[in-house]
Amino acid sequence: MEITIKISAPEAVPCAALLLMVPPVTGPNAGRPLNLPLPARYLPAVQQRCQSGDFRGRADEINWLYPEEAPAQRLLLAGYGWRDGEAEEPKSVPHLQQVIANAVAACRKLSVPELCVPVAGGLADQFGMRQAGQLISEAAILANYRFTKYKSKPAGNDQPLRSLTLVIENAAAKAELEAGVKRGGLLAAWTAFARDLQNLPANALTPELFAQMAQMKAAESGLSCRVFDENMIRELRMGALLGVAQGSSNPPRFLVLETRGPDDTDTIVLIGKGITFDSGGLSIKSAESMEKMKYDMSGAAAALAAACCLAQLPERPHLVCLLPLAENMPSGHALRPGDVLTACNGKTIEVADTDAEGRLILAEALAYAGRFKPRAVIDLATLTGAVFAALGEVAAGLISNDSELAGRIKQAAALTGERVWELPLYSEYLRNLESEIADIRNYPAKKVGAGASHGAAFLSAFVNGYAWAHLDIAAVAVQQRNTPLCPSTATGWGVRLLVQMCSEWQAERQSAARR
């Protein structure tokens, strides 16, 4: 999709569709779009539609108007109001991006090739030109996303939006808007890349093929990328990673990607769980549970995409990305319940459940991360079904040993719409993982609940001397129904949050250094 900026009075721009974001029809601003002081030629038609009750300005409402003798062939009214149960008019990032996504979906449905979005009035006042440009371009690209690699024929009734034009009257604001559009396009492109990786079938994304893809994207982004094969992993004494992979004919890989910041800066490590297919191993899953286990590498996809995106930004930290990659399969060589593995830090693990494999490979990465003396480590993983029971598809579970790091993640979540909710890490959870024969079990011996916190407690045993946060994304990496902003089972969740958090942290440090 081509995104351009045009300096003009919006009502004078010839276009296939002109987007008007309309707040609720009650109150003094009834029928007056947020993003444009409505020209006189359009005002009667819009107000009539609102006053008739055909359009109320609520969230997710879409209405088409066809003005006579106007440069715009269509007016697209999009509700910028609240949903049922919400008390007041929303002014948040998710609401704006939802409006844009709804508009893109409406255009695709009617095969409208072009959408013009005026950036003026309350919209510009509310977000500013730079943020508005970022949010609009980001949402439009993500809403336009489709995964069609394996489709032999294109869908006839779902044509992509080909052109998005942002219209402003003040030429002095163009540079700010352009900067926002560029950043939004970059974030959306890497989120789409993460979705692409997630959507690939497991036979097209083995650990080796994932590593090859990571090498290619790292080279494009300016990241270094070291790939450790099975023999090199053995030299690192990563017994837990080798143990998970030993049942598969596809050998594991361990990836270390790195980019230096523009100056001497604190190190941030991102870790992504990369189980390219999870059968459960000998603790085998049901057919229904196994069907979507190609998505068990979603954490690795998000971490890789975020690292590549950050490497292309001026406010990048010294960043390391660690990706343990393996398949978890049953065979005569597979890991057995009761086996004991030794991680690279020497800690021994009793494997109570071979389907709790993600924490085993993450443990190796967390232990390995210590050699970089990081300021912070964040891991992303589709770790537990329990987080879905706790939070549903609404938010990821956040567990951290550092309140400042947790606070930064929450702030980034609010700014990106990728929501998190903090869960506890009580000492009792770690005690429930005590083993009679090894240093730790990978799963509690009894049914004690709190599955998400127990998974994080296991990981915490491999954290040594650094601030750490764990994001359990099992409920948000994959969605059960498509939405306008994410018309795909795979969401690419976490890319925008990680980029926002890391870049803002580094920008603060750069600003302090200049004082």
The radius of gyration of the chain from alpha carbons, rounded to an integer in Å, stands at: 24
Which residues span the domain enclosing 33? Answer: 2-186
- Do 282 and 221 lie in one domain? The reply is yes
Per-residue pLDDT of the chain (515 residues; tens, 9 = 90+): 999 999 999 888 999 999 998 887 665 555 567 666 666 677 777 778 877 888 888 888 999 999 888 899 999 999 887 665 554 445 678 889 999 999 999 999 999 999 999 998 888 888 999 999 999 999 999 999 999 999 998 777 788 999 999 999 999 999 999 999 999 999 999 999 999 999 999 999 999 999 999 999 999 999 999 999 999 999 999 999 999 999 999 999 999 999 987 776 789 999 999 999 999 999 999 999 999 999 999 999 999 999 999 999 999 899 999 999 999 999 999 999 999 999 999 999 999 999 999 999 999 999 999 999 999 999 999 999 999 999 999 999 999 999 999 999 999 999 999 999 999 999 999 999 999 999 999 999 999 999 999 999 999 999 999 999 999 999 999 998 889 999 888 999 999 999 999 999 999 988 887 77
pLDDT given at position 36: 63
pLDDT given at position 26: 61
pLDDT given at position 35: 67
Q: Report how far apart the first and last C-alpha atoms of the chain are (Å, whole number).
A: 41
- Do 155 and 259 lie in one domain? The reply is no
pLDDT given at position 512: 82
CA 142 to chain centre: 11
- How crowded is residue 511: how many other Cβ atoms within 10 Å of its Cβ? 10
Residue 361, CA distances (Å) to 1, 130, 242, 384, 427 in order: 38, 40, 9, 14, 22
Q: Which of 253, 270, 339 is nearest to 308 (CA)?
A: 270
| Contact between 1 and 161 (Cβ < 8 Å) | yes
pLDDT given at position 34: 67
Q: Which of 394, 483, 485, 415 is nearest to 100 (CA)?
A: 485
- Do 169 and 222 lie in one domain? The reply is no
pLDDT tens, position by position, 41-82: 777 777 788 778 888 888 889 999 998 888 999 999 998 876
- Do 134 and 215 lie in one domain? The reply is no
Tokens 């992979």 -> residue: 245
pLDDT given at position 81: 76
- Do 256 and 329 lie in one domain? The reply is yes
- Do 171 and 210 lie in one domain? The reply is no
- Do 232 and 141 lie in one domain? The reply is no
- Do 374 and 399 lie in one domain? The reply is yes
pLDDT tens, position by position, 196-250: 999 999 999 999 999 999 999 999 999 999 999 999 999 999 999 999 999 999 9
The CATH number of the domain holding residue 459 is 3.40.630.10
- Do 304 and 159 lie in one domain? The reply is no
Total domains in the chain come to 2
On whether residue 14 sits in a domain, the answer given is yes
pLDDT given at position 31: 52
**Letter string b/e over residues 254-268, b meaning 16 or more CB atoms within 10 A of that residue's CB:** bbbbbbbbeeebebb
- How crowded is residue 62: how many other Cβ atoms within 10 Å of its Cβ? 17
Which of 186, 213, 235 represents a domain boundary (last residue)? 186
pLDDT given at position 89: 47
On whether residue 191 sits in a domain, the answer given is no
- Do 151 and 174 lie in one domain? The reply is yes
**Catalytic residue IDs:** 285, 359
Rounded Cα distance between 241 and 252, Å, is 7
- Do 114 and 172 lie in one domain? The reply is yes
The CATH number of the domain holding residue 162 is 3.40.220.10
- Do 253 and 340 lie in one domain? The reply is yes
- How crowded is residue 59: how many other Cβ atoms within 10 Å of its Cβ? 18
